[in-house]
Amino acid sequence: MLFRSLIGLSALVIFVRISTPVLSAEMFETEKVTISVEVLTDKLQQPWGIDFLPDRRMIVTEKPGRIRIVTRDGKMSPPIKNPPHRAYYGQGGLLDVTVHPDFVKTRLLYFSYAEQGQNGYYTALMRGRLSADETALENGKVLFRQTPAFGDPRHFGSRVVFAPDGSVFLTTGDRGNRQQAQHLHSHIGKVIRLTAEGGIPPDNPFIGRKTAKPEIWSYGHRNIQGAAIHPATGKLWTIEHGPRGGDEINIPAPGANHGWPVVSHGIEYSGGQIGDGLKAAPGMADPIVTWTPVIAPGGMTFYTGDLFPEWRGDLLIGGLRARAVVRLELNGDKVVREERLLRQIGTRIRDVAVGPEGAVYAITDETNGKVLRITPVR
């Protein structure tokens, strides 16, 4: 169900533009705080993932295949050499980036991307070491390749998240072959869990089952493009695209079946029902919230900073169709209120992240893609 009755849409009250060669800013009223939204750069091509280096600079991926470092004042590095061998195909390309938790020691970066193989395209995970002069990736190693491969250009999933125990979650999509999401001998439509070195954790739920891929954590997913670790519980939360309606947030437990395509809160794009039209079924985990119409989710994060005490613990989601940052207030694992931020800007939000200083950063899904910095006006 969509929490329409809970939605508090931000009202535009004032805007101010700062005429500088690099930055512009606008101010907006939200339900709890006035915010300033700065454009740090508008020179990225289809940015897809964003994370932070220890010195507060950003590492950003561009879907066509480039990796850049962006400073706090919006200056961009030249493309970093030796990126993953991505396939820029349909919804595929160079996708997410995640900085190793101990980057100061390891200098490791993790990337998800679409790759072409002999039989089609699939989601892959690679890690590489950022060189000391920050111009190249060194010692690149592919940690995972999704099987089977398909020619369909859709649904690569592709968020990468480190768990508190040091393992790595990678989300995948159904690659337009929905029945595969229910098959445990396939990586399609799954959450994958690996060690940081690309091995298989010994406590993965399907270890020892001959008919199942041992990398699988959960299954029955359509296309997960947002994932984050809950700061209090340490549990993985994910958000995935529904078809026509039925975007959903889940808390994937080990071995859980999240139902797609047996159950769905959406319908076919043609208007027909999906399968038997079920919204729930025995043995299949229910989402904690769904949206119809869809928000078309991008990346998401929990707010854990100090700049916005009003938002602490809230879930922030990039909305592509919503053209907003969707803020969810939570009570445990229940959504109690929704607010849509930045609707006045009217731009597709691909990913959202919290910076080390507590500001919120968002990247826009455009050929002249932007990095936005959101701070409170006190």
What is the reported pLDDT for 256? 98
Q: What are phi and psi of 336, to 5 degrees?
A: -110, -15
What is the reported pLDDT for 48? 98
Measure the CA–CA gap between 22 and 19, rounded to whole angstroms: 8
- For 104-141, the pLDDT digits (tens) are 999 999 999 999 999 999 999 999 999 999 999 999 99
pLDDT (average), residues 193-202: 98
Q: How confident is the model at residue 340 (pLDDT cuts 50, 70, 90)?
A: very high
What is the reported pLDDT for 19? 34
Q: How confident is the model at residue 338 (pLDDT cuts 50, 70, 90)?
A: very high
Please choose, from the candidates 253, 190, 178, the residue with its C-alpha nearest in 3D space to the C-alpha of residue 216: 190
Residue 77 pLDDT > 80: yes
Whole-prediction pTM: 0.94
- For 267-276, the pLDDT digits (tens) are 999 999 999 9
Q: How confident is the model at residue 23 (pLDDT cuts 50, 70, 90)?
A: low
Asked whether the beta carbons of 260 and 247 are under 8 A apart, the reply is no
Asked whether the beta carbons of 355 and 51 are under 8 A apart, the reply is no
Number of residues in the chain: 378
* Both tokens assigned to 171: 């989300």
Name the average pLDDT for the chain. Answer: 94
Sheet holding 247-250, edge to edge: 224-229, 236-240, 247-250, 289-291
Known catalytic residue at 241: no
Residue 225 pLDDT > 70: yes
| Cα-trace Rg, the chain | 20
pLDDT (average), residues 245-254: 98
Q: How confident is the model at residue 24 (pLDDT cuts 50, 70, 90)?
A: confident
What is the reported pLDDT for 282? 97
The catalytic residue among 155, 187, 241, 258 is 155
What is the reported pLDDT for 126? 98
Percent with pLDDT over 90 in the chain: 94
Quick count: other Cβ atoms within 10 Å of Cβ 18? 12
Residue 5 pLDDT > 90: no
Domain ranges of the chain: 4-328+341-376
Q: How confident is the model at residue 10 (pLDDT cuts 50, 70, 90)?
A: very low
- For 348-374, the pLDDT digits (tens) are 999 999 999 999 999 999 999 999 999
Please choose, from the candidates 220, 128, 225, the residue with its C-alpha nearest in 3D space to the C-alpha of residue 170: 225
Q: Give the residue with greater pLDDT, 340 vs 3.
A: 340
The one-letter amino acid code at 197 reads E
What is the reported pLDDT for 49? 98
- For 302-331, the pLDDT digits (tens) are 999 999 999 999 999 999 999 999 999 999
Residue 285 pLDDT > 60: yes
pLDDT (average), residues 131-156: 98
What is the reported pLDDT for 334? 97
Window from 23-27, 101-105, 136-140, 154-158 with minimum mean pLDDT: 23-27
Residue 68 pLDDT > 60: yes
HSE at residue 37, side-chain half, CA atoms within 13 A, is 24
Q: Quick one: fold of 4-328+341-376?
A: Neuraminidase (2.120.10)
